[in-house]
A and B are shown apart, each in its own frame.
Chain A
Amino acid sequence: MKRRTFLGGAMAVAVVGHGSSALAQQPPIKIGMSMPQTGGLAGGGKASLLGIEIWRDDVNAKGGLLGRKVELVVYDDKSSASETPAIYAKLVDVDKVDLLFAPYATVPTAPIMPFVKQRGLLLMGNFSFQVNSKVGHDMWFNNAPWGPADSWAASFLDLAQKAGGKNMALLTADQEFAQNLALTARDVAKKRNIPIVFDQVYPPNTVEFSSIIRALKAAKPDIVYVASYPPDSAGILRAVNEIGIGDSVKIFGGGMVGLQFAAVMSNLGSLLNGVVNYNTWLPEKSMYFDGTKEFFDKYTKRAVEAKVDPLGYYLAPFGYAMGQMIEAAVGATKSLDQKGIAKYLRENEHKTIVGSIAFSADGERKETATLQAQFRGVKDKDIEQFRSSGRQVILFPDKLKTGELISPFEAARNLGLVAFPAQGQGGT
């Protein structure tokens, strides 16, 4: 376990001038977390951490929190659930951190929930899905835009039914996050009397998806809901392109992890066209709030040095927003009392660079802000194209919507660049 203490903010503090000497004399406020920096979740973890680091530098440049410098204490959890309980115990008992941020993703976060509940500690969640549903910790606040558990599947099926979809195929990875999505998709489908004509769970490390896609195609579904993990998302889309999915399919996608990351998007290129998938932030006009553009200006520069996702849409701004919420809560309560901070977070709406955030009793968003967007006019091997608006048109939620679904899926796939020219730079 290698400790990484991030002191980069100290340099920014040094140039602030007048307040800097007072700032330097007081002990820093330590925020502790583990973050996947190796293993399968490392791509997301590194981008998320960079977002948090940018917030740390910004807040320190403004004079810190309560006049004290903010310092991050970060350990690599290797994307493993078995590492995080010991790391968080060390953060609290040895490093004596003042506040805790959760690691990126569901799997490393789930095992620390009983610990923080038992100790009565505030935990800012970082993109995990439904980890608090059974634990019921009242000091948990997730920065992710998921909202109510079933809203993810419901929004996709809303679009599908509007497009005339009457039955569904479900293809999911045998992994907790994907299975949670599949569970809600089955529930929503049952409530709406949508028959499930194909329901397959594939194991991690599946090398070749051609056979699975052939079987799926033979079921002739109208709606194909896929909940996959990054290595598989690419394999599935490749197989769909080669084997074909059939003319019956009105809409394809939903919960494919990986299609939010620049390297995967760039690798897949035109294979993405037509896919409707979830996302969290996109460079569309409706997604810019106070500070969003400035954040991405900084992120784009620092991502190159840090060798992380050059776009950083999926996680990085939410890492920053997590810091903004803590900044607002500590500023308002004028203390580091975790109960007071939790009360403030629960009772107020928070302005962040990803929009307004309000929490329900379970610490998840009151309303979902998870986007469903359709890839259009994507060409091969060009990361820069994803900085333009129009490449991922937002179909849901209505207040952020920037276009209508193109259906059926095969038609949407075959529409090329001519039909969807880029609509200018999104400002990042």
Chain B
Amino acid sequence: MDLLLGAVVLGVLLGCFYAAVSVGLSVSFGLLDVPHVAHPAFLVLASYGVYQLNESYDIDPLLAGLAITPLFFVFGLLAYRVYYETFERRGSDAAVRGIAFFFGIAFIIEVLIILQFGVDQRSVSATYIGKSWRFGEFRIPIRQLVAFAVALALTVLLAVYLSKTFMGRAIRAVAQDEEALRLMGANPVRIKQFAFGIATAVLGIAGALLIIVAPVEPTLDRAYIGRTFCVVVMAGLGSISGTLIAAIILGVAESIVLTLFGASWAPAISFAMLLGVLAVRPQGLLGR
């Protein structure tokens, strides 16, 4: 019973972390329909940015994540503009060619990281890494509590931004009917570009959480492609609160399987759950 309870608690923490690394993709892929397979590569790039600031200036990883957020916003604006000019504007098979574009970007990022930092693992130091909180026999790693709190705040903030602010509602509008927006005199491309910038900026914080939770290496993005897309699709495309719920379900399921049934089943669980959810609700948990 203790083991099960522990697995659930650790699963919720892990799930919130999964939400943080997936929420940007929920905007770029879920709302904007951009086949952003380079999302995990952007995430790893952000982790290396955080590592560099932590290593060189001893800045706390979370503050470092916050510091690189504006840079990632600009990076997102540029990436979308290139994608739009070279693919989206040109026609109906943009999505297929877009996948090739973003795969290319992911490989370029991977190679650039290798050239700059080498192939070795990198990690950061902070007072909350490597320690745990004790409740009797039960211990929770503090780094996971930090990741949980920040991830929760990040997801809630993004959800509020998209539902309450003018720009947020414009982003949702462009996701629902781009043509209608154009008829009303708004420029959907600029709104989508801004939204892609937001989705990329969020990765500054998510990248900090990634390197806080575990060391990173240049090819780590490959480990997150399946998980992040699984969370976003299971959530229902574009649903931020759905992303949080789906990620927590996935985290708890993985943790229970790891603890009680054997670690080798853990990777299967995310896709088994995805298939299960899509069979019952093809639009995802909170999709419309």
Contact = CB atoms under 8 A, between A and B. Distances in A.
B139 interface: yes
B86 interface: no
A210 B120 CA distance: 23
A308 B118 CA distance: 8
Interface string A208-252: 101110110010000000000011001100110111100000000
A242 B13 CA distance: 15
B223 interface: yes
A130 B220 CA distance: 28
B181 to A, nearest CB: 39
Interface in A26-61: 38-40, 42-43, 46
Contact of B266 (A39, A203, A238, A261): A203
Interface stretch (A99-107, A263-271, A316-324): A263-271
Contacts of A381: 125
Contact of B123 (A174, A261, A267): A267
B264 interface: yes
A244 B133 CA distance: 12
B121 A234 contact: yes
Contact of A43 (B10, B111, B120): B120
Contacts of B11: 211
A3 interface: no
B66 interface: no
Interface stretch (B71-79, B92-100, B210-218, B277-285): B210-218
A200 B265 CA distance: 10
A407 B111 CA distance: 44
B241 interface: no
B62 interface: no
A174 B262 CA distance: 12
B186 interface: no
B139 A243 contact: yes
A344 B255 CA distance: 55
Most A CB within 10 A of own CB, among B6, B125, B263 = B263
Contact of A211 (B125, B214, B222, B255): B255
Contacts of B264: 174, 200-203
B169 interface: no
A242 B262 contact: no
Most A CB within 10 A of own CB, among B114, B213, B259 = B259
Interface of A: 38-40, 42-43, 46, 174, 200-208, 210-212, 214-215, 218, 230-231, 234-235, 238-239, 241-244, 258, 261-264, 267, 271, 307-309, 380-381
7 contacts: A40-B219, A203-B266, A207-B14, A210-B10, A231-B220, A234-B214, A242-B131
